[in-house]
Amino acid sequence: MRIATFNVQSLRLRRSESGARLDGARDGDMPEDLAFDSPAVDRMDRVLTAAVLRELDADIVALQEVFDQETLDHFHDVVLTSGGVRPYPHRICIDGNDGRGLDVAVISRRPLEEVVSHAALTLMEAGLAVADAPGADERIFRRDCLLVRAGELTLFVCHFKAPYPDAEAAWGVRRHEAAAVRWLIERRYASPEAALWMVVGDLNEPGDAGRGAARAIAPLVQDFAIDLVARIPESDRWSFHEPDSGRYSRPDAMLASPALAARWPDARPFLVRTGLGGHAERYAGPRFAGVGQRRPHASDHAALAIDLPGL
């Protein structure tokens, strides 16, 4: 089985009298991206997004920044399969807590025997606040922690809080999100270390982590999950490049249970960067035809995948 995670950058379906169209891989608050705002560039972005998924050819893909189920189905039916990608008959996108409506989603060729949203989970319910404390009823996840199970494997699909506009405050939000994911896993399994599960998605942990050496996602990676991306040479772990700052980072993650990591000791994640804009100069490999310096591009993230033979 091949598992992948891919932040597809603001995938949203727009309907008007002139028809339906998908937003391109662009953020509405970035003037540089809006400078390329045109139906033709947006359409090419999504052709490139589909090209990345075709190259991945994964059995299950965790997606981030998908607007809703209608968007996901339209992208699949109109862009993905027409671009030569084998169909994904099992698709799920549940409304989360993102103020812009960008949610986590899953497409799968394997039946999903269990699907559970945790968007409504509060600090108090997860034991992160006491009753009547300020904010105790606040929802933890800024999007969701979407649980899907396919056979033996359970995935916890996440997209944690981005480190802006206030990096210090965002660090605290991500710490709560990480602690809540661990709480969900420990509540689900009597022996989490012996079960087969992965936490996948965009955990938005910046390269310098903030607060010195402290990592916001420490509850997940200290004496709990195994960071499979650490199996990649350090210089090649990056999956995101900020063209304005020139900074490379690795927000996209695959954290595995000890049992899963031990069962596939030689499984090493790989990154598909063929859809990244030319500004990511650290990548010297081939790019898809049509990729520009900044746009068109498939996303501002690379896709991350791993093969788990026999699963």
List, in sequence order, every residue forming a beta bridge with 187; answer none if it has no partner.
none
Backbone dihedral angles phi then psi of residue 204, each to the nearest 5 degrees: 55, 30
State how far the Cα of 56 lies from the Cα of 296, in Å rounded to an integer: 19
Q: What is the pLDDT of residues 241-285, one digit of tens each?
A: 998 889 999 999 999 999 999 999 999 999 999 999 999 999 999
Amino acid at 46: R
Q: What is the pLDDT of residues 279-304, one digit of tens each?
A: 999 999 999 999 999 999 999 999 99
pLDDT score of 27: 87
pTM: 0.95
State how far the Cα of 148 lies from the Cα of 91, in Å rounded to an integer: 11
Measured in residues, the chain has a length of 311
pLDDT score of 210: 44
State how far the Cα of 226 lies from the Cα of 230, in Å rounded to an integer: 9
Residues of the chain with pLDDT under 70: 28-37, 207-213
State how far the Cα of 151 lies from the Cα of 141, in Å rounded to an integer: 26
The edge-to-edge listing of strands for the beta sheet with 197-202 is 114-116, 145-150, 153-159, 197-202, 252-256, 226-227
Containing domain of residue 119, as a range? Answer: 2-307
Q: Which of 75, 59, 73 is nearest to 25 (CA)?
A: 75
Residue 48: which CATH number?
3.60.10.10
Q: What is the count of structural domains for the chain?
A: 1
State how far the Cα of 77 lies from the Cα of 311, in Å rounded to an integer: 27
pLDDT score of 211: 47
The Cα-based distances of 227 to 63, 218, 235 in angstroms read 19, 11, 16
State how far the Cα of 260 lies from the Cα of 160, in Å rounded to an integer: 23
State how far the Cα of 203 lies from the Cα of 219, in Å rounded to an integer: 13
What is the pLDDT of the chain when averaged over all its residues? Answer: 94
Q: Where are the beta strands (DSSP E) in the chain?
A: 2-11, 13-16, 19-22, 60-66, 90-93, 103-108, 114-116, 145-150, 153-159, 197-202, 226-227, 240-242, 247-249, 252-256, 270-272, 303-307
State how far the Cα of 309 lies from the Cα of 79, in Å rounded to an integer: 29
For 1, the token pair is 């089985």
